Amino acid sequence: MVGVYLSGALLIGVLLYLLKNHVANVILILAFIILQWTLTIYEYANLNSTQLVYFTPDALAVIFLFVLSIVSVPAFYHSFVYFTKHPYKPREQGMFYAAMVILNASLSAAYLSNHLGITWVFVELTTLSASALIYHRRSKLTLEGTWKYIFICSISITLVFIGILFTTVAVQQAGIKDLFYPVLSLNASKLDDFWLKLSFLFIFTGFTAKAGLVPMYTAGIDAKDKAPYPAGAMLASVVMNVGFIGIFRYYEITSHSSIFEWTNKILMISGILSIFVATVYMMRVKNIKRIMAYSGVEHMGIVMLGMAAGGIGYYAAILHLILHSFAKPALFFQFGQIYRTYGSKSIYDVGDYFKYNINGAIVLLLAYFVITAMPPSGLFISEFLVFRSVFEAGELWILILVVVLLTFIIWALGKNFFKMLFINPVKDYPEKRESIPFTESISQYILLILVICIGLIPPGRLVELIHAAISTLPD
Amino acid sequence: MINILLIAFTISLIYIAMANRLITYIRIIVFQGLILFGVAFIELIEINPANLIFVLLETIIIKAVAIPYFLRYILERNKITREQEPYVSNFVSVVVVTLIILGSFFLTYTVHETHIRKLFFIVALSALFTGLYIIITRRKIITHVLGYLVIENGVFVLSLAVGSTMPMIVNTGILLDIFVSVILLGIFADKIGDVFEEQDVEQLRSLKD
């Protein structure tokens, strides 16, 4: 199935690029969405069965596949909306859709891969396809954003490769032949500490560019700001998951070795620094898309804290990622509408949003509570569980520090969101533009309601899958 | 023989530090590609023929011909001035690169490890850090791509040093990805030349908080 899926996606991508016709685009995208869902359901039905040697749908991969398939449907829908409102040349449209399809396919393959090298190959492919998306508008600023994104991601992915080579050294000492994750986990205790530490450092640093963590988070910020909003939604959610899965797979290997304590410290440091950096920037940035990009850095920091603390933290981390991947796209889709109304992404130019688009304003108000993890939001549950795990791990001072930082973030977001909703824009009101139909806000409502529902009443199958995903980690 | 080639590779790193003209950089990249071809040929002669031919073609065609040719095309098309415009003087660069090589020596000899080949390891580390140093200290965007290529060459030597256990298909994927990313970097460097007046990182300062 993976083979069919990858070749199908490649074919659809090429056709989208070649056929510069609106009807053909719609049919091909629909075909791809069906293909994506077929893959997801097939892999779910065949849990843990290896296909094509290098792909195994384990629980974590299946969870992220479902998240990707759910997010990609509204992302494609909003791409259509985007192109009806901002007409581009057919060639540029075709390129955009093709890049979206290739991005989806490489993300799916990277989730499913069970080999260190294959993960590398597909994560690199996500960089290449994402760069086409970021460059879509072909202006000076997008060029700058794309250049920085490709360059930092290329350097990071080279770091991951060096990490893989160091793993090879450790693996040869232990007399193992290949780099499949299950084999590595099984033999982790035989691997040399020094090389394992070195490769973890390199691989972790490399994947932070995708996951949006300190130290390499900078690439993602410009990318999410400059990409068209449907692509920004993908970059801010499912692409961050691919960075996480890269880190998680290696973390799982080290969890069976003697350096586990040390890896937890690294994750903890990176998590705290990420939350700190996000707080500092969110208090002063005035561009709504950039604020949300930094909010992603903050949420990944919380995920890392949960992972480092262990215990219930693992469950909370995975749940937090799932919910975050639903909440963030909803916000990005909404920002697309704000940009259409005001022609600007600056907090100063946006105001009194209720007057212009009441559905969108309600989405924004709901999204504020969801993204800051206020009680009806599912993120509240996962964040609370992360805090509980940090408390149980005995890191009281870290907990206090993080809670103080999060308070600042809630304040910063509240100040900006309520300004957009209720207070007049600093400059003149924009003249009344076309009213945005309710149908374009439905997907945002669905995503936000998903976040609330999954948090409050998590489906039994999902809980089982999460527990299966973390079953190999020590308590 | 292999020692001579690796030492020549290291000398080319010092030469990069003091080269003034961009065309010299590209020639050094060609030279390094040829050396890597030789090293790969001697090292990998025992692996299976398909794999060997693939690696050899990769080094000679991609590293020594295609990429340098493409970069040269970009240089000419964008009328990039000849100087590489460093932030620091060439003398300092030579000293720093020499220190990098010395540092790599010390670093390698502090690691007690029998599975890796020390000379390969030293050369690889030196190339990695030299590449990073070039990226940090040069002003032109095209020089950053060249620095990335030096890093990539270092990684290639490193993969020979540890003796990769990766199967053919994985290697193919990795090499293709690297090739495409270099081409993409080149294309965007080209576009930056079209859009901005100068191909200079100073121009890329508008995205910030």
Dihedral angle sign, alpha carbons of residues A354, A357, A359, A365: negative
Which pLDDT belongs to residue A432? 66
pLDDT over 70, % of chain A: 99
* B119, part of any domain: yes
For chain B, the domain total comes to 1
Amino acid B170: pLDDT: 73
Q: Which two tokens stand for residue B106?
A: 């010390």
Average pLDDT, chain A: 92
pLDDT of residue A402: 96
Is B116 close to A115, i.e. CB distance below 8 A? Answer: no
Q: Is residue B177 part of a domain?
A: yes
Question: Distances in Å between the alpha carbon of A324 and those of A244, A350, A372?
Answer: 13, 25, 11
- Contact between A193 and A167 (Cβ < 8 Å): no
Are A169 and B177 inside 8 Å of each other by CB? Answer: no
Is residue B165 very low, low, confident or very high in pLDDT (cuts 50, 70, 90)? low
- Per domain, the residue ranges of chain A are 1-258, 259-475
Nearest CA in chain B to A161: B155
Q: Which residue has the higher pLDDT, A475 or B61?
A: B61
What is the tens place of the pLDDT at every residue in A179-212?
899 999 999 999 989 899 999 999 999 999 999 9
B111 touches chain A (CB under 8 A): yes
CA distance B188 to A143: 8
**CB neighbours of B130 closer than 8 A, spacing ≥ 6?**
B13, B16, B17, B97, B100, B150, B154
**What is the C-alpha to C-alpha distance for residues A132 and B79, in angstroms, rounded to an integer?**
26
Q: How far apart are CA A192 and CA A170, in angstroms?
A: 6
| Residues spanned by the domain of B156 | 2-191
The confidence band for B183, taking pLDDT boundaries of 50, 70 and 90, is confident
Confidence at A6, pLDDT banded by 50, 70, 90:
very high
Is B202 within a domain? Answer: no
Q: Does B194 have pLDDT greater than 90?
A: no
State how far the Cα of A421 lies from the Cα of A374, in Å rounded to an integer: 18
Residues in chain B within 8 Å Cβ distance of A145: 207
> Contact, A184 vs A253, CB < 8 A?
yes
Of B127, B126, B115, B128, residue with least CA distance to B161: B115
Q: How far apart are CA B23 and CA B83, in angstroms?
A: 9
**B111/A194 CB distance under 8 A:** yes
Tens-digit pLDDT profile for residues A118-171:
999 999 999 999 999 999 988 889 988 999 999 999 999 999 999 998 898 888
Residues in chain A: 475
Exposed/middle/buried for residue A262 (C-beta within 10 Å: 0-12, 13-18, 19+): middle
Q: Which residues of A touch B116 (CB under 8 A)?
A: 169
Partners of B162 on chain A (C-beta within 8 Å) are 165-166, 168-169, 172
pLDDT at A26 over 90: yes
Question: Contact B184/A161, CB-based, under 8 Å?
Answer: no
Q: How far apart are CA A327 and CA A295, in angstroms?
A: 11
A125 neighbourhood in chain B, CB within 8 Å = 177
pLDDT, residue B164, reads 61
| Distance separating alpha carbons of residues A321 and A191, to the nearest angstrom | 30
| Two tokens, residue B202 | 């100073």
Q: What angle do CA A213, A228, A276 make, to 5 degrees?
A: 20
Tokens 């799932």: give the residue.
A322
> Measured between alpha carbons, how far is B106 from B144 in angstroms, rounded to an integer?
27
Residue B51, pLDDT > 80, answer no
User: What does the pLDDT look like over B70-79, one tens digit per residue?
Assistant: 888 888 888 7
Whether the bond into A215 is cis, omega within 30 of 0: yes
Of the candidates B35, B36, B56, the one whose C-alpha atom is nearest the C-alpha of residue B45 is: B56
Confidence check: pLDDT of A370 > 80: yes
Separation between Cα atoms, residue A442 and residue A94, nearest integer Å: 26
Distance from CA of A383 to the nearest CA of B (A): 27
> For an interface test with A, which of B177, B178, B202 has the most A Cβ atoms less than 10 Å from its Cβ?
B177
Spell out which residues of chain A touch residue B113, defining contact as CB-CB under 8 Å.
Answer: 169
User: Has residue B142 been placed in a domain?
Assistant: yes
Question: Cβ contacts of residue A139 below 8 Å, gap of 6+?
Answer: none
pLDDT at B100: 95
Query: How far is it, in rounded angstroms, from Cα A18 to Cα A9?
Result: 14
Residue A128 Rama label (left phi>0; alpha psi -120 to 50; beta): alpha
Q: Is B113 on the interface with A (CB under 8 A)?
A: yes
Concatenating the DSSP letter of every residue in A33-98 gives HHHHHHHHHHHHHTTT--BTTTB---HHHHHHHHHHHHHHHHHHHHHHHHHHHS---HHHHHHHHH
Taking contacts as CB-CB distances below 8 angstroms, the residues of chain A near B157 are none
Q: Which two tokens stand for residue B143?
A: 């020089």
What totals of helices (H) and strands (E) does chain B contain, helices first?
Answer: 8, 0
Judged by CB atoms closer than 8 Å, whether chains meet at B151 and A222 is answered as no
DSSP state of A213: -
Q: What is the pLDDT of residues B124-136, one digit of tens each?
A: 999 999 999 999 8
Summarised one tens digit per residue, pLDDT across range B85-119 is 778 888 999 999 999 999 999 988 887 777 678 88
pLDDT band for position A221 (50/70/90)? very high
Nearest-Cα distance to chain A for B203, in Å, is: 9
Query: Which residue carries 């290329």 as its tokens?
Result: A154
> Contact A80/A145 with Cβ under 8 angstroms?
no
Which of A149-163, A212-226, A243-257, B163-177 is predicted least confidently? B163-177
B141/A141 touch (CB, cutoff 8 Å), yes or no: no
For B153-165, what is the mean pLDDT? 81
Averaged pLDDT for residues B181-191:
82
Contacting residues of A for B169, CB less than 8 Å apart:
54
Task: Give the Cα-Cα-Cα angle A373, A275, A65 (nearest 5 degrees).
Answer: 65
- Whether residue B51 is contained in a domain is answered as yes
User: Is the per-residue pLDDT at A37 higher than 90?
Assistant: yes
Q: How far apart are CA A393 and CA A310, in angstroms?
A: 8
- Give residue A459's region: left, alpha or beta (phi > 0; psi -120 to 50): beta
Could you tell me if residue B200 is inside a domain? no
Question: Which residue of A155, A192, A196 to mutate against B (max B Cβ within 10 Å)?
Answer: A155
A475 SS3 class? coil
> Using CA atoms, how far apart are residues A250 and A159, in angstroms rounded to an integer?
14
Task: Write down the mean pLDDT value for chain B.
Answer: 85
Across the interface, do A154 and B128 touch by the CB < 8 Å criterion?
no
Give the closest-approach CA distance of B138 to chain A in angstroms.
Answer: 15
Angle between helices A238-254 and A193-211 (to 10 degrees): 170
Chain A residues touching residue B191 (CB < 8 angstroms): 143
Q: Which residue has the higher pLDDT, B201 or A126?
A: A126
Average of per-residue pLDDT across A287-298: 95
CB contact under 8 A, B174 and A168: no
Rounded mean pLDDT, A241-258: 95
CA–CA separation, A90 and A34 (whole Å): 24
Q: How many CA atoms lie within 13 A of A102 on its CB side?
A: 25
Q: Nearest residue of B to residue A287 by CA position?
A: B209
DSSP code at position A191 = S
Query: Does residue B203 lie in a domain region?
Result: no
More confident residue, A310 or A31: A31
Is B82 part of a structural domain of the chain? yes
